[in-house]
Amino acid sequence: MRVLVAWCPDWSVTAGLFELAETGDPGSEGRASSNQPAAVLSNNVVEVCNTAARAEGVRRGQRRRDAQARCPELVLLPANPERDARYFEPVLATVEELRPGVAPIRPGLLAVPAPGRYFGGEPHAAAIVAQRLVETGVWDCRLGVADDLFTAEQAARQALVQDCVVVPPGRSAPFVQALPVRVLADLTDGGAHGSAEGRELADLLRRLGLTTLGDFARLSAAEVSNRFGGFGLSVWQRARGGAPTALGSRTPPPELACEVGFEPPLESAEAVCFSVRTTAERFVQGLAGRQLVAVAVRIEAEADGVVTSARTWLHPRCFTSRDLVDRVHWQLQAGTAGSGLRSRRDSGAVRAAIERVRFLPETVEAAADHADGLWGGGADEQVTRGVARVQAMIGFDAVRSPVLQGGRSVADRQASIPWGERPVGLRPVDRPWPGRIPGPAPARVFSPPLLADVVDEAGRTVAVTERGVVTGEPWRYRIDAAPDVAVRRWTPVSSWAGPWPVDEAWWLSTETSGRSGRSARFQVVGVDGRAWLLVWRAAGWEVEAGYD
Amino acid sequence: MVAALQRRIESLQGAPTRLTVPVHPALEGLVQLRTGASYAVDSASLALGLAAGASRSGEWVGFAGWDDFGAEAATQWGIDLRRTVLVPEPGELWLEVTAALVDVLKVVVLKPTALVDAKSASVLDARLRARSSVLVVWGEWPRVEARLSAERVVWDGVGRGRGRLDHRELRVAVTRGGQRSARDLVLQ
């Protein structure tokens, strides 16, 4: 079997630049061209760099600072194997259109049984593949055709940009044996950027005086096995040109996304929801046919040919068609003005007439994990349904799940996330958080805090000096805008504790963030037995929480 | 397991049974929650304590109308936040939201934003009985099984400018159909 290998050098950099261009960072828009020197860094060490960067003297294994010293305009990209694989997917699909049975070897390298006969010769086939790849935006691709995978890859590495090197049938062994041993350093068995074993072996062979793979191939199998182990033996077999090739061809992934177009475009969210119902059912059934359920779905709505609203929705269990229709409704409503507190009347109109709605499964799980038990669904499923009803009444964001997080003030120590979403970006709880208030937690946490007044015996407002000393003993307090009317009166203080000064985020200016700067916390108990957590700031007193 | 299934069969067979719902050990003996009834409290901590027992025994609880919910305090009472539904601002539909929560949750704690009339309350009562849930109202409610109020709260551990809040001693008065009983408690 003849094998065609397409190799895109420095794929991590290419994918990173693609992503940079796609995210549309305004500062870097013009810069993210493929001629720009760029490098992918991992642990502050250059992992991959492109040709432009290499011309400036950037090398793999350099530290970030050295690389930047050689090439100040170097675009630094974080290492992200997932991104590399994601951007390689369209390349695979492009080749798959020409010849099924594509084997992805790693991001940036693919193999496919050479489609020579159909396209009238292997050079022609390779030219067509190269042309299609360039059309998808991958201009640096090199191709090789040979009897086995190893030879084809080496041939591709020798090819020029968008060109192909064809090793004629039966000529693999002479081709491989002419190669220097340092090609083993880039051997792709171990990972994307050459395996440590390969590098070690290349170094060892060079020190032994074996400069080409031909020299290595002339050793006997027993000697190689004794001296270089299993890895050496596999390399030796390849160098002799007798390595078997088994391409792990992939099955093209099934198309699970569903979309529906409206002609003419629809103006109201209700009409859209009514029309997407069958599509939503088709989407869920398409997944169910493969024993899958979706737990995260991306919904895109198009108007005037552009995607006007796109959002990923998560589900605590799995999406049914009704849930999807609900999500479409919420998403289209969220785009309209005044949707924070929605009344039933003005909920209809959408901002622009919707002409297309698309469902894309983001995360799918095996349906067996979500199957109902013999005794019907558990309590959790009922709760999910009931909460969905509440969400339908008052909006998606109105139902929350409380979570704890780390922080100093009591309001910082908790958060609430919309029901069904996963918490992201929470501060860790298990840190010491010096400056937090120990003891029993307050049952009522006011966020934002309520305004208050605290005065001493003479009626002056109590303050805290820079040294953390109170100017007077708290004597009476009053809470403005309290939910309970009883507290709005002046209440004498029966006991108090504090001040506990905190100087948080002093590097931010007070205009941008009202929370920064010096503050001091007090626990104050009134004569009525109610205890409050008060905080003094330069701007005045506030109530953060109540121990009710 | 068998008992749980039997209870479930009973509840499916109609005749709503009056099951007991556990409360936090600190409030044990003071009041016994029964499904299908509503209870009124005048303190957030007592409301948390009434809901904590059900949450500790693995049930789902919900809080409606609490825009100042203290998640950390709830955790200290033993409420599992993973089985907690919070509707901080139900808006003008708070009664409907509460009814929908009562359908699926064992204990619903409600902080009503407006006074409720007796008719709406009785509709909700019927829903409570049918669904075997408990409603705890922090505030006023027309007809309740029992009313808990915290009296004579004394905080310990804090002086004038020293110490910190540590625990409190309080007398919890329970009014049940005209009868009144009280007990002294020490709460965290």
Do A205 and A334 fall within a single domain? no
Do A98 and A219 fall within a single domain? yes
Looking at the predicted structure, is the pLDDT value of residue A295 above 90? no
pLDDT of residue A490: 87
**A174 closest CA partner among A213, A221, A123:** A213
Helical axes A196-207 vs A221-239, angle rounded to 10°:
120
**Last residue within a domain, chosen from A83, A116, A144:** A83
Model pLDDT for residues A358-374, shown as the tens digit of each residue: 898 888 888 777 766 66
**Last residue within a domain, chosen from A356, A380, A404:** A380
**Alpha-carbon span A272 to A37, nearest angstrom:** 47
**In chain B, which residue's Cα lies nearest the Cα of A494?**
B160
Smallest Cα distance from B20 to chain A, Å:
18
Helical axes A321-334 vs A379-394, angle rounded to 10°:
30
* DSSP 8-state assignment for residue A443: S
pLDDT of residue B84: 92
pLDDT interval class at B33 (50, 70, 90): confident
Strand-pair partners of B183:
B172
How many Cα atoms sit within 13 Å of A536 on the Cβ side? 26
* Mean pLDDT on A4-18: 88
Instruction: Please tell me the total count of domains within chain A.
Output: 4
pLDDT of residue A379: 61
Instruction: Establish if A425 belongs to a structural domain.
Output: no
Do A328 and A339 fall within a single domain? yes
Do A91 and A228 fall within a single domain? yes
List of chain A residues whose C-beta atoms are within 8 Å of the C-beta of residue B76: 440-441
Find the largest Cα–Cα distance for chain A.
104
Smallest Cα distance from A530 to chain B, Å:
7
Strand-pair partners of A312:
A298
Q: What is the ipTM metric for this complex?
A: 0.87
Instruction: Establish if A23 belongs to a structural domain.
Output: yes
**In chain B, which residue's Cα lies nearest the Cα of A532?**
B165
Q: Which domain CATH number covers A35?
A: 3.40.1170.60
At A399, list the tokens: 């139902």
pLDDT of residue B62: 93
**A200 closest CA partner among A211, A209, A187:** A187
Interface of A with B in 284-303 (CB under 8 A): none
What domain range is A25 assigned to?
A: 9-83
**In chain A, which residue's Cα lies nearest the Cα of B152?**
A529
**B166 closest CA partner among B157, B154, B177:** B157
Model pLDDT for residues A385-430, shown as the tens digit of each residue: 888 888 888 888 888 999 999 888 888 889 988 887 777 788 888 8
**Which among B68, B76, B93 is the nearest to A445, CB-wise?**
B68
- Positive or negative: CA dihedral A177, A180, A185, A191: negative
Q: Between B184 and A34, whose confidence is greater?
A: B184
Q: Which domain CATH number covers A329?
A: 3.30.1490.100
Instruction: Determine if residue B132 is left, alpha or beta; phi over 0 gives left, psi from -120 to 50 gives alpha, anything else beta.
Output: left
Instruction: Establish if A431 belongs to a structural domain.
Output: no
CB-based contact, B69 to chain A, within 8 Å: yes
CB contact under 8 A, B85 and A383: yes
Chain A interface mutation, best of B61, B80, B84, B86, highest count of A Cβ atoms under 10 Å:
B86
Instruction: Establish if A439 belongs to a structural domain.
Output: no
CB contact under 8 A, A548 and B43: yes
Model pLDDT for residues B98-146, shown as the tens digit of each residue: 999 998 898 999 998 888 888 888 888 888 888 888 999 998 888 888 9
Model pLDDT for residues A297-356, shown as the tens digit of each residue: 888 888 887 777 888 888 777 888 888 888 888 888 775 544 444 444 444 456 678 888
**A90 closest CA partner among A145, A150, A134:** A134
CB contact under 8 A, A400 and B86: yes
Secondary structure E strands in B24-145: 33-34, 38-41, 61-64, 84-87, 107-110, 134-138
CB contact under 8 A, A400 and B88: yes
Do A95 and A229 fall within a single domain? yes
Do A181 and A273 fall within a single domain? no
At A518, list the tokens: 């010096």
* DSSP 8-state assignment for residue A442: P
**Alpha-carbon span A126 to A111, nearest angstrom:** 12
**Alpha-carbon span A156 to A168, nearest angstrom:** 14
Model pLDDT for residues A142-198, shown as the tens digit of each residue: 999 988 888 888 898 888 888 888 888 888 888 888 888 888 877 765 444 556 778
CB contact under 8 A, A401 and B93: no
* A88-101 burial: b if 16+ Cβ within 10 Å, else e: beebbebbbebbee
Model pLDDT for residues A522-546, shown as the tens digit of each residue: 999 988 888 999 998 888 888 889 8
**Alpha-carbon span A295 to A323, nearest angstrom:** 11
Instruction: Establish if A118 belongs to a structural domain.
Output: yes
Do A135 and A269 fall within a single domain? no
φ, ψ of residue A24 in degrees (nearest 5): 65, 40
pLDDT of residue B186: 86
CB-based contact, A358 to chain B, within 8 Å: no
At A393, list the tokens: 């009444």
Q: How far is CA A19 from CA A47, A72, A142, B182, in A?
A: 18, 21, 22, 68
Residue A337: partners with Cβ closer than 8 Å, 6 or more residues away: none
pLDDT of residue A242: 65
Q: Is the separation of the CB atoms in B70 and B118 below 8 Å?
A: no
**Alpha-carbon span A138 to A4, nearest angstrom:** 17
**Alpha-carbon span B17 to A186, nearest angstrom:** 74
Do A459 and A497 fall within a single domain? yes
* DSSP 8-state assignment for residue B119: H
Mean pLDDT score of chain A, rounded to an integer? 82
Do A209 and A292 fall within a single domain? no
**Which among B75, B86, B161 is the nearest to A416, CB-wise?**
B86
List of chain B residues whose C-beta atoms are within 8 Å of the C-beta of residue A495: 155, 158-160
CB contact under 8 A, B71 and A523: no
pLDDT of residue A346: 43
Interface of B with A in 86-145 (CB under 8 A): 86-91, 93, 96-97, 100-101, 103-105
Looking at the predicted structure, is the pLDDT value of residue B63 above 90? yes
Model pLDDT for residues A89-119, shown as the tens digit of each residue: 888 888 888 888 888 888 888 888 887 777 8
Secondary structure E strands in A427-505: 444-455, 476-479, 491-504
Do A481 and A533 fall within a single domain? yes
**Last residue within a domain, chosen from A239, A274, A306:** A239
**Alpha-carbon span A508 to B172, nearest angstrom:** 47
Do A79 and A93 fall within a single domain? no
- Positive or negative: CA dihedral A90, A95, A96, A97: positive
pLDDT of residue A171: 84
pLDDT of residue A244: 66
Q: How many Cβ atoms sit within 10 Å of the Cβ of residue A340?
A: 9
**In chain B, which residue's Cα lies nearest the Cα of A389?**
B100
* Mean pLDDT on B56-77: 90
**Alpha-carbon span A203 to A190, nearest angstrom:** 16
pLDDT of residue B107: 92
- Structural domains in chain B? 17-146 (3.40.50.300)
Do A72 and A97 fall within a single domain? no
Looking at the predicted structure, is the pLDDT value of residue B78 above 60? yes
pLDDT of residue A345: 41
Instruction: Establish if A408 belongs to a structural domain.
Output: no
Interface of B with A in 10-39 (CB under 8 A): none
Instruction: Establish if A438 belongs to a structural domain.
Output: no
CB contact under 8 A, B71 and A445: yes
Helix (H, G, I), strand (E, B) or coil at A376: strand
Strand-pair partners of A484:
none
Percent with pLDDT over 70 in chain A: 88
> Nearest 5°: CA angle at A233, between A227 and A235?
120
Instruction: Establish if A63 belongs to a structural domain.
Output: yes
* A188-218 burial: b if 16+ Cβ within 10 Å, else e: beeebbbbebbbebbeebeeeebebbbbbbe
Model pLDDT for residues A464-520, shown as the tens digit of each residue: 888 888 898 999 998 886 666 566 788 899 999 988 888 877 777 655 555 667 888
**In chain A, which residue's Cα lies nearest the Cα of B103?**
A386
CB-based contact, A376 to chain B, within 8 Å: no
